[in-house]
Amino acid sequence: MTTKTNKKSPSLLGGAMIISGTAIGAGMLANPTATAGIWFLGSILLLAYTWFCMTTSGLMILEANLHYPTGASFDTIVKDLLGNGWNILNGLSVAFVLYILTYAYITSGGGITQSLVNQVLSSENAVDIGRSSGSLIFCLVLAAFVWFSTKAVDRFTTILIAGMVIAFVLSTASLVGSVKSEILFNQIAQGEQQYLPYLLTALPVCLVSFGFHGNVPSLVKYYDRDGKRVMKSIFLGTGIALVIYIFWQLAIQGNLPRSEFAPVIEKGGDITALLAALAQYIQTDYIALLLKFFAYMAIASSFLGVTLGLFDYIADLLKFDDSIIGRTKTTLVTFLPPLLFSLAKPYGFVIAIGYAGLAATIWAAIVPALLAKATRKRFSDSSYRVYGGNFMIYFVILFGVLNIVAQVAGQFGLLPEFLG
């Protein structure tokens, strides 16, 4: 009589939630403002192009990752396939992006935590726990889930995404319902009417909106090296993110005319400035509260996804094991530096997101394409191979080069800026 092992494979939705939760974060809040120059149709095409390239590059990491032991992350794979030079460059890029995003989410999440806790605690006497305490609470609570396990992150991220979707649907339902086609297609246009010159300026923000690549090694471990399952979870997760971004663009750019984005652009796409501009056209009182809740869920889920990727990268780099002591050491190295930096510089969110883009281009586009190329030369047999052959490798490299050109040109003021 044969005995069956009832080892249950983790759900596809769980992995997809980690991917979409990581992707849907700060980039989303910046998207309508960053793409105001190219407007609605241009932004949809750019988001779709970015989604395809970023999803494909994530699958290229998966293709390489499956040839290495479970738990191997970028340090092991890049060093073996591309050599020490690329590994150092990639390692610096990975660490910089993940640490800077962790810092950005702690500062932003800390601010909202401070506001929410103060609302709960205050009665007649005003109570202010302070920004530092808000950041500390936000970081410690969520870091506990990462320390515990990938499964804990999956479960909690699913709850956060569910809350985020509910808040998103409630807040955007009335916005989508009041969309005016003449605003959406800029038929009542005032001011300048050019779109194409602002294409490159918008590209790097879209790239940050689909960053999930640090989670691929974690998902390989989570799905016990089932490449097809990881691939499906990546497609599902990034697909959810794309759909939500498109509805968000529709909700904002269908209600707020292109020519009215000037005050929002001036304040770096701040959500409060965006709501103030929208208030001239629609009733936004209850929407403001829902969007605050939505932003909190988005930042918390992104924080969990980003730090899970950083956690596994640190464990691989420093060779910390999966014991309680090993995970505790990895947790301290993962969370302590960005937390201390956040307590010292609590208002650097927008600047931090901006700097993350250039480094992200290296390890989320250029390096994955080079890994796929090197993998196919080194290993003849492969349980999973990305579609498109060599053409797709160069297609993704071109996407990366375009992003680097856009970011460098933007830093030197060589690209036109849409000011509303």
Q: 408-420 pLDDT, tens per residue?
A: 888 788 888 887 6
- Residue of 374 and 319 predicted with greater confidence: 374
Among 22-26, 67-71, 82-86, 256-260, name the one with the lowest average pLDDT: 22-26
Position 125 pLDDT exceeds 60: no
As a whole number of angstroms, the distance between CA 245 and CA 325 comes to: 40
Please report, rounded to a whole number, the percentage of residues in the chain having pLDDT higher than 90: 30
Q: Structure pTM? A: 0.81
Is residue 54 within 8 Å of 238, Cβ to Cβ?
Answer: yes
pLDDT band of 77, cuts 50, 70, 90:
very high
Domain boundaries, the chain: 16-412
Position 270 pLDDT exceeds 70: no
What own/partner pairs with CB < 8 Å and gap ≥ 24 does 265-270 have? 265/33, 265/36, 265/418, 265/419, 265/420, 266/420, 268/33, 268/350, 269/29, 269/30, 269/32, 269/33, 269/34, 269/350, 270/350
pLDDT, position 26: 62
Q: 4-33 pLDDT, tens per residue?
A: 445 577 889 889 988 988 888 766 777 888
As a whole number of angstroms, the distance between CA 400 and CA 54 comes to: 10
Position 214 pLDDT exceeds 90: no
As a whole number of angstroms, the distance between CA 323 and CA 251 comes to: 47
Among 38-47, 111-120, 124-133, name the one with the lowest average pLDDT: 124-133
Beta strands in 102-189 (DSSP E): none
Give, in words, the CATH class of 16-412: mainly alpha
What rounded mean pLDDT belongs to the chain? 85
pLDDT, position 183: 86
Of the ranges 92-101, 351-360, 386-395, the best mean pLDDT one: 386-395
pLDDT, position 5: 45
Q: 365-402 pLDDT, tens per residue?
A: 999 999 999 999 999 888 889 999 999 999 999 999 99
User: How many CB atoms within 10 Å of residue 289?
Assistant: 13
pLDDT band of 347, cuts 50, 70, 90:
low
pLDDT band of 78, cuts 50, 70, 90:
very high
As a whole number of angstroms, the distance between CA 210 and CA 249 comes to: 15
Strand, helix or coil for residue 33: helix
